[in-house]
Chains A and B, each alone.
Chain A
Amino acid sequence: MGDDETRVLLVRGEGYVAFTGSKAELGALVAEQLSDVLAPAE
């Protein structure tokens, strides 16, 4: 993969998401997932 490409398995609860793309896109995905995690606690 190129310098900015990455492959990640995002494992959460019972499922997981396989992600392949740029690190910038991964950053956005992780931030969105974190929003989901923090939202119910409020």
Chain B
Amino acid sequence: MLEGVNVALGVTGSIAAVKVVELAHELRRRGAEVRGVLTESAQGIVHPWAVEFATDNEPITDLTGRVEHVELCGREGWADVLLIAPCTANTVGKIAAAVDDSPVTTTATTAIGAGVPVVVAPAMHEPMYDHPGVLDAIDRVESWGVGFVDPRIEEGKAKIATEEAIVTEVARATTPDPLAGEHVVVTAGATSEPIDPIRTITNRASGKTGRAIARGCYVRGADVTLVHDGEDVPYAHVRRAERAAEMRDAVLAAVDDRADALISAAAISDFTVDAADTKIKSGEARTLTLEPAPKLIDGVREAHPSLPIVGFKAETGADDEELVEKARGSWTVRGSPSSSRTTRA
């Protein structure tokens, strides 16, 4: 995701600076090269040696006659992106006012002026995050094209975003954006149909493929809606759906809002069951009548005949030629020249 990307990692004096070693490792694991830039306050929380160990590069702790901020983030500088994580209220306020009184603020001013992408991950106590001056500063800096990774509001703190969210935002800032302005709806994971209030029938699906596609689209500039039976993700608006019918309704609602494409990667139940109102007693044989569940793609195609749709279908016991034939057969059935089909072998 970040192969060949040079990340200047600015670290400021939030307690979240203790996470910078893990963050630097994650950036490098994704393929980036990382160089640290630390404020004096940050050095009171995380030792420069720890950052040097994590990045395999000597961090910048002071600006000298080498003009390190220009070397890093000038017009012909080393960095492809400046990531400030964590960023305190103090630092974001100074960046908004173009104040340059630390290695990080001076590097930020240089980067913004040189057109180097900047990503900021704020971390502070929640009342500070509610301060109108801090919010104004964030709005002002954001208006300059700087990307913000929203903090997690927990336990009275605006905690720094997850590594996944930060890495994804850095990838979005450094990847060409052919999908900018497009709204892509993606489905992921399994649906499940209740048999009774306790039990369900479902499919084997982790949702990893759909989430990877949603993230891939977001990184390339798309606005993404993810429909799944899972948690919130940092790269998409999530609509939750457990049953096949709920997923169809959620997708139709998302597409009706406005969509430029649908990618149906979920393993949607082909069958549904008339669920019992109370738990079915165990210990005796039961027969379930499986009724066909509504076909999501058919419903969307009927409502939106020209929408580009990518469908996924898992198959077993077929060679590649048979799989391709099946995929093309599904186009004929649905009558869509703009559809494509991916078939898991």
Contacts and interface: CB of A to CB of B under 8 A. Distances in A.
Contacts of A33: 310, 340
Interface in A6-42: 6-13, 16, 18, 23-24, 26-35, 37-39
Contact of B328 (A10, A11, A23, A24): A11
Interface residues of A, number: 27
Contacts of B324: 9, 11, 16
Contacts of B208: 3-4, 23
A37 B261 contact: yes
Given A27-B214, A34-B261, A10 B308 contact: no
Interface in B20-73: none
Contacts of A18: 320
Contacts of A35: 178-179, 220
Classify the secondary structure of A's interface with B: helix
A9 to B, nearest CB: 5
Nearest to B182: A38
A11 B308 CA distance: 14
Nearest to B315: A9
Contacts of B323: 9, 11
Interface residues of B, number: 35
Interface in B196-223: 206, 208-209, 211-217, 219-220, 222
A39 to B, nearest CB: 7
A33 to B, nearest CB: 7
B301 to A, nearest CB: 16
A12 B171 CA distance: 27
**Most-contacted residue by chain A among B178, B211, B216, B263 (CB, 10 A):** B216
Nearest to A19: B342
A11 to B, nearest CB: 4
Contact of B1 (A4, A7, A24, A29): A24
B261 A38 contact: yes
Given A7-B345, A8-B344, A18-B320, A34 B179 contact: yes
6 tightest Cβ-Cβ pairs between the two chains A and B: A27-B212, A31-B216, A27-B216, A35-B178, A11-B327, A12-B340
22 contacts: A3-B208, A6-B344, A7-B345, A9-B320, A9-B324, A10-B342, A11-B323, A11-B341, A11-B343, A12-B340, A16-B327, A26-B209, A27-B209, A27-B215, A27-B216, A28-B216, A30-B310, A31-B179, A31-B213, A35-B220, A38-B178, A38-B260
Given A6-B344, A38-B178, 14 more contacts: A10-B340, A11-B323, A16-B327, A23-B208, A23-B212, A27-B214, A28-B1, A28-B212, A30-B216, A31-B213, A31-B220, A31-B222, A37-B340, A38-B261
Interface of B: 1, 178-179, 182, 184, 206, 208-209, 211-217, 219-220, 222, 260-261, 263, 308, 310, 320, 323-324, 327-328, 338, 340-345
Interface of A: 3-4, 6-13, 16, 18, 23-24, 26-35, 37-39
